[in-house]
Amino acid sequence: MNKYIAIEDIQPVLLKEILIPSITMWNRLEGRPRTDNFDRALKAEVRDALFMLTKQWQMGEFQGDDAGSPIFAKVHMETTQITRYRAASNPMQAFQNDVPLETKVEQRAFPLLLDMRLAMGRHWLKLLKTPELSPLKGGFIKAFPITAPDPLSRADASIAAHQQNWQTFSAAAGRTMDGGALYTHLKENTVNRPYDALTPAVPLTAAQKTALNALGEKFVAWFEKLFYQPTDPKNNAWLPERLEYQFACSAPIKDSQKVLEAEEYYHGHLDWYNFSISPNGALEEARNEPANVEGAITTSFFPVLIQFDGMPNTRWWTFEEGKTNFGNINPDTTDLNKLMLMEFGLIYANDWFLVPFTLPAGSLAKVRGMAVTNVFGERTWIQAAGTGNDEDWQRWSMFALDTKGSDAVTADTSLLLLPTNPKIQESKPLEEACLVRDEMANMVWAIETQVPLASGEAKSGREAALELHNHYKRIIAGEGPAPVVPTIENNATIRYQLLNSVPENWIPFIPVHVPGSNRQVQLQRASMPRLIEGDTQPIQKVKPRTDLLRHGLDVGQSYFLHEEEVPRAGICVSQSYQRTRWTNGRVYNWYGTRKRTGRGEASSGLAFDQILPIKAKKEST
């Protein structure tokens, strides 16, 4: 059959003398205004109600089952609050909600670099604004000076090697005071007397000493309020041997305690999924912990339908949000997460209702009973997903807390509401180190990709290592010529090399046996020699410049790292400044650490006992 209808004489058809039968079909109905007034067109008037009924029948709306919408809900909930907190293996302490939990857990000692020392010094000099204390400003500048680095000194090489670093120190030297040194002086002395560091030639009256003592306490309180850091060792939750935080909390439940442990926290955003329930009983009692925190709440609600962008609208003649288009997603067969999201958004979108319930931060709540009434007057008893002794592998337990080391099939249906802040400002990393495996050398390298300069700025670890190495060359050249070693003429075409070098920002971690075990190994921080031609001084060891890798170095302690903490993909650990505002309006600043997965293995090129060819010298003509 032809696709087109052949008409021999088109004239009668155009004059409508002959009518050709046809079937008209529509797949879209829309208002089409013929005037400048759109009011009637936007009403979408339908004169035939049977049309709407047939469309409902066509879409299967009459085949719904249990379609009664909930209109009333009654909930009975038992609540308790976290009362105890323990950082790593430190002593127990009472849990307080006056500080965000991220701040309490992630706090690390602030590096007192030049920019912070200058800010502290300016603040102290501003405090000396009274007429009787203003003459003492010069004395404090001399007592806590900023000294310019010596470019020819090996001790100042890490400062003078970088031009902008050296210029900053030189500009501040002799003009202002080191506020960090004053803070250290006040913290190390049991009696906070700022004037003890002044020269004896400065006579002070009793009124001046009293005023300085008060300002010293005010200065320390100002700094510790502005920068939250672990002034008390029992608040430090960082484990250097695992490069992660570890802490635990507990809440009283009747005659026992529910203990929540976070053994591997390094993500930067603290929430309920970082915890596991510990089956080992309660934590020891803490001093000044709150009492009578358990309670029960029974209340009634009006359930509200959950809505989100891109949600298909269940009603006709309504506009949908066009920012999210689920139909435009093209997932692969392995993209299970995308497929689940599409199924939820397109099929089960209008099956979820919100029952609002207000709880204080730091609560642990559990729904004991919930009854829902729908529009037909039917009451339904709702049980939490995962309850019972159901051993089906399809049991829903996605948002349930797991019990550490337990094979129990009953999920814990408690709701943990932590005193955390969803919005935290984070600076660029001040320091970063990536630990990678080098299978050829059979060791782990910690590559300092970002190092902090003494001025307070961050610099690429590779660039900083090159600048420091070249600066040592200039120092050695300035110390005088090296003794001439007589050379032996030979016609050899090869040479023997005992050891080659690696960049100074590559810090080695070598495998060593765990004490008491012949099979288990751990990683120990080591050092590469700094080999510079012409250096007559004893060979120096290259030391790390990041605080992450200098653990125990300043006090002569070795640093051991668990071998399983560095997978084949490697890890990258960074430290940066964090800032947030808490519910009381106070701003908290702290120094936190993050860890993320690396980018695979690496090769340093380190080699021993090599036979290398000698390049032939070109003869001059």
Amino acid at 224: E
What is the per-residue pLDDT across 456-493, written as a single tens digit (0 to 9) for each? 999 999 999 999 999 998 888 887 666 676 777 777 88
Domain ranges of the chain: 75-105+235-306+352-417, 111-226, 425-482+491-613
What is the per-residue pLDDT across 140-179, written as a single tens digit (0 to 9) for each? 898 899 998 988 888 889 899 998 888 999 999 988 999 9
What is the per-residue pLDDT across 209-258, written as a single tens digit (0 to 9) for each? 888 888 988 999 999 999 998 877 778 899 999 999 999 999 988 888 88
The DSSP-derived string for 582-608 is: -TTS-EEEEEEEEEEE----------E
Pick the most confident of 436-440, 474-478, 587-591: 587-591
Q: Is the dihedral of CA 456, 457, 460, 465 positive or negative?
A: negative
List, in sequence order, every residue forming a beta bridge with 448; answer none if it has no partner: 433
User: What pLDDT shows up at residue 279?
Assistant: 81
What is the per-residue pLDDT across 50-86, written as a single tens digit (0 to 9) for each? 887 888 788 777 776 656 788 899 999 999 999 999 9
Amino acid at 598: G
User: What pLDDT shows up at residue 1?
Assistant: 45
CA distance 33 to 317: 17
Q: What is the DSSP letter of 289?
A: -
Containing 173, the helix (H) or strand (E) segment is none
Q: Residue 434: which of 462, 454, 456 has the closest Cα?
A: 462
Rg of the Cα atoms in the chain: 36
CA distance 513 to 524: 10
Helices (H) and strands (E) in the chain, counts: 12, 26
SS3 of 524-575: the string is: EECCCEECCCCCCCCCEECCCCCCCCCCCCCCCCCCEEEHHHCCCCCEEEEE
Mean pLDDT, residues 559-586 taken together: 93
Please report how the helices 114-127 and 163-172 are oriented relative to each other, as an axis angle in degrees rounded to 10.
10
Containing 366, the helix (H) or strand (E) segment is strand 363-374
pLDDT class for 394, splitting at 50, 70, 90? Answer: low
Q: Is the dihedral of CA 417, 420, 423, 426 positive or negative?
A: negative
Spatial neighbors of 544 by CB under 8 A, at least 6 apart, are 433, 446, 448, 507, 525, 550, 553
Which residue reads 């900053």 in tokens?
168
CA distance 38 to 32: 9
pLDDT of 620 higher than 60 = no
What is the per-residue pLDDT across 547-571, written as a single tens digit (0 to 9) for each? 999 999 989 999 999 999 999 999 9
Average pLDDT over the chain reads 84
List, in sequence order, every residue forming a beta bridge with 562; answer none if it has no partner: 522
Residue 203, CA atoms < 13 Å, CB-side half-sphere:
1
pLDDT class for 192, splitting at 50, 70, 90? Answer: low
pLDDT of 600 higher than 80 = yes
Give the burial string for 274-283 (b: 16+ CB within 10 Å, else e).
bbbbbeeebb
